[in-house]
Amino acid sequence: MEEELVKMLLAVVLGGAIGFERELREKAAGIRTIVLITLASTLFTLTSIEIAGDSDPGRVAAQIVTGVGFLGGGVILKERGSIVGITTAATIWMAAAVGVAIGIGEYAVATATTAVAFSVLLALPLLERRIATLSSQRYRITCSGESSHRDEVRALFTDSGLKVRRIVQTKSDRQSRIEVDASGRPTSHQAVRLVLFKTDFIKDFR
């Protein structure tokens, strides 16, 4: 009984460490959710070992993987033309794996995995933002009418999270053409394309 209690306590600690980062970023699955997932996975694993006896205890663990997959799918959403929540879904799946590792007594593996996951969640967004600044694309936009839409187009890009590095407008034949060089995250590029498609004064873009 004492060993089981230690496992449950470790599940709370490690799950809390993983959930802390998600809570900081105000994601759908925060500390409480991740702790409960880790704790439940540990408990399922412990009970499966107890029930199985000399039989295969892996059947319940296999069902944990399936069940958590459905739970993770619930936090994946489509927002502004892009998919969000995949990292949180993967974190839920990983927290369940940590719980299973604790349940079978692999404390070192569970702790090391948690440390690596925490580092990935905390540090890699900085690298992603750095890479995003190198992701530059050129847009050629055709606007109806001869009015200047330069500032409006710039606002569409900045509101979508992109940095406008160059914007040039030329006018001809009752329409204007705007060329924009913008850099940012791939999701921001997806978002601005959706906005450009829905904007009334924009005839086409490529």
pLDDT digits (tens, 9 = 90+) for 67-122: 776 666 666 665 544 566 778 888 888 899 999 999 988 999 999 999 998 888 88
Query: For residues 142, 146, 150 and 151, what is the CA-based torsion angle, rounded to 10 degrees?
Result: -130
What pLDDT, on a 0 to 100 scale, did the predictor assign at position 85?
A: 72
Give me the sign of the Cα torsion angle 55, 56, 57, 59. Answer: negative
> CA-to-CA distance for 46 and 186, rounded, in angstroms?
43
**For residue 12, is pLDDT > 90?**
yes
Distance CA 159, CA 34 (A): 32
pLDDT band with cut points at 50, 70 and 90 for residue 157: confident
Q: Looking at residues 35-63, what average pLDDT do you find?
A: 79
Burial (CB < 10 A; 0-12, 13-18, 19+), residue 58, is middle
Asked which of 26-30, 50-54, 186-190, 191-195 is least confident by mean pLDDT, the reply is: 50-54
What CA–CA distance (Å, rounded) separates 154 from 148?
Answer: 12
Q: Which residue has the higher pLDDT, 52 or 160?
A: 160
Q: Nearest-5° angle of CA 96, CA 100, CA 101?
A: 115
User: How far apart are the C-alpha atoms of 91 and 137, rounded to whole Å?
Assistant: 31
Considering only 30-34, 134-138, 151-155, which range has the smallest mean pLDDT?
134-138
Cα 145 → chain centroid:
40
* DSSP classification of residue 162: P
Domains within the chain, CATH numbers bracketed: 2-131 (no CATH), 135-205 (3.30.70.260)
